Chain A
Amino acid sequence: MSLDSPIFQLELEGAGMWSRVIGRNKTLRLTDLEGGANVGMMLYHATERHERYNMPDTLKGQHIFYLRAPYCLHSDMGRLMASITKDTVGWHDTVCGASDAESVLQQFGENNYQKSRNEFYRNARECFLIELCKWGLGERDWIPNLNWFSKVVADEEGKLSYVAGNSKAGDLVELRFEMDTLVVLNTCQHPFDPAMTYQPKRVRLEVFANDPPMDGDASLMVRPENARAYQNTKDFYLLSE
C-alpha cells in the first residue's frame, strides 16, 4: 500500500520533544531534514504501560547490535511493537542512551533560558522525563532508548566510536506499528556527537495508515523470532479486543 498521503505531519525543531499514541496499522516516517539528525525514542504499550521497548530482547532476538530495515522492535513481553519497513540510512543505535545536563554542559558550556530564551541548551534526559511525566510515567520507566539516524560501532575490545555523516538530508526511516504504542521522542543530539557547537537538527514526522502485513512480509520473515513475537501480538489483540 502506498504511503503517499499522510494523515498527520509535523516538523520538529532541533532539541524538540513530542509524545503521542500511534495505533497499530499506522506507520511513522521520520525524515532527517538537514543531515546529521538524531531522534531519541522510547516506546511503551499504549494501554499496558509496564510493557516497554526492550533493547536486549530486540538485539539478542535478532542477533544484531544495531537496527535497520527489515528488523523489528521487540517489547519485554515477547511481542512486536513495530517493524522497520523502510530505511535509507542502514544503521541506527539503541545502546548509547541519552545526553544529560552534565554532558551537555561539559561539551557545549552553559546557555540557560534567562540568557537565550528558547535557544537555550536542552538535553535528552530532561526531554524524555518531561514527556514521560505527561503519561504518568517517570524514572521507574527509564529504558535504553533508540537513537534513530546515529551510528556507533564497537571494536574487538568493546570500545565505541561515533560515525559522523551516517545520515544525510532527506534520509528517512519508517516504523510500522504492530501494537498500539505510546511514542516518546526528542531531537536532541546523540550523546557521542562530537560537534563542538550545539546544533540539534530538524526532523519531519509523518503518520500514514497502512494495511496489516501480508504473508511473506520481510520484517516478519527475517528471523523466526519475529514471526513468533508477531503471533504473540496478534494473540494479545485477539483476546483483548
Chain B
Amino acid sequence: MIESTYQSTHAVHDEVVLAGDHWVHEIKAGQTFRIEDLEGNQAADTLFYNAHDPEERYSASDTIRVQRALYLSTGTKLISNRGRTMLTITADTCGRHDTLGGACSRESNVMRYAFDREPMHACRDIFIRGIQCWCHDMNKRDLACNINFFMNVPVTPEGGLSFADGVSGPGRYVEMKAEMDVMCLISNCPQLNNPCNAYNPTPVRVLLWE
C-alpha cells in the first residue's frame, strides 16, 4: 500500500463518473491520474490508447508477460500491444487490481448467467459508446481486454479462478503517471449479477494533476 502526496484541491480535473456511464479523457505524458472507489467494491473497467495512434493500446498479456505477475499494484507498468510502457502505477491503497477478468457484455451475461439477462446494461456496450464519442473510425474491433481497477480475481496455484469479494473499500484509490499521451476510456461497471459489488454498482471519482 503506497499513499499519494497529491491533494484533490490541486487537481486540474475532478469528476464523478456514475455507475453505468462511460468517461473518455486524454491524459498527457507526465500527468498523474487517480481513480477513487467512492463507496467501495466498485469495478472501474478501463482501457488506454495512445492518444495519437489508437492502434497502440493497453495489452493485458503484454502487461502480464513483462511483469511476470497477474495483479496490478504500485510499481506495475501498464504495457501496450507494442511492448511500450503507457502508464506506471505510483500509488495504491487498494492492494491489487485485476487484468484477467475482462468486461461484462450482454453476450457474456447470457453465457455466464442466463438467456434472460441479455437486455441488461453492460460494460462492452458502454465502451462502444465511449469510443464512438472519441473517434468515429473506431469500433468493437478496438476493444482490447481491459483492466478492472478495484476488482479481485484470485488465481490459486492449482489453477482455480474466481470473482471474490472485493478487497477495496470506500475512499480507496489507485494512481498512475502517464509515460505517453494516452486516451483513457472507463466503463463504470453496471453489473447486477455478480456478488463482488454486492449487486450495487456505485460511482467512482477521477482526478488529474499536472
- The residues of A with any CB-CB pair to B shorter than 8 Å are 50, 54-57, 59-61, 63-66, 74, 76-79, 91, 95-98, 100, 102-103, 125, 138-145, 153-160, 191-192, 225, 228-229, 232
Contact = CB atoms under 8 A, between A and B. Distances in A.
B145 A144 contact: yes
Nearest to A51: B140
Given A56-B101, A154-B156, 11 more contacts: A55-B60, A59-B161, A65-B156, A76-B108, A78-B111, A95-B100, A96-B64, A97-B61, A158-B96, A159-B69, A232-B111
B70 A64 contact: no
Interface of B: 55-56, 59-62, 64-65, 68-71, 81-83, 96, 100-103, 105-108, 110-112, 114-115, 124, 139-145, 153, 155-157, 159-163
Given A96-B65, A97-B59, A57 B111 contact: yes
A95 B59 contact: no
Contacts of B68: 159-160, 192
Nearest to B146: A56
Contacts, number: 134
Contacts of A100: 83
A74 B61 contact: no
A228 B68 CA distance: 34
The 6 closest A-B pairs by CB, nearest first: A56-B102, A97-B61, A78-B107, A158-B70, A144-B61, A158-B71
A60 B161 contact: yes
B138 to A, nearest CB: 9
Contacts of B160: 63-65
Nearest to B68: A160
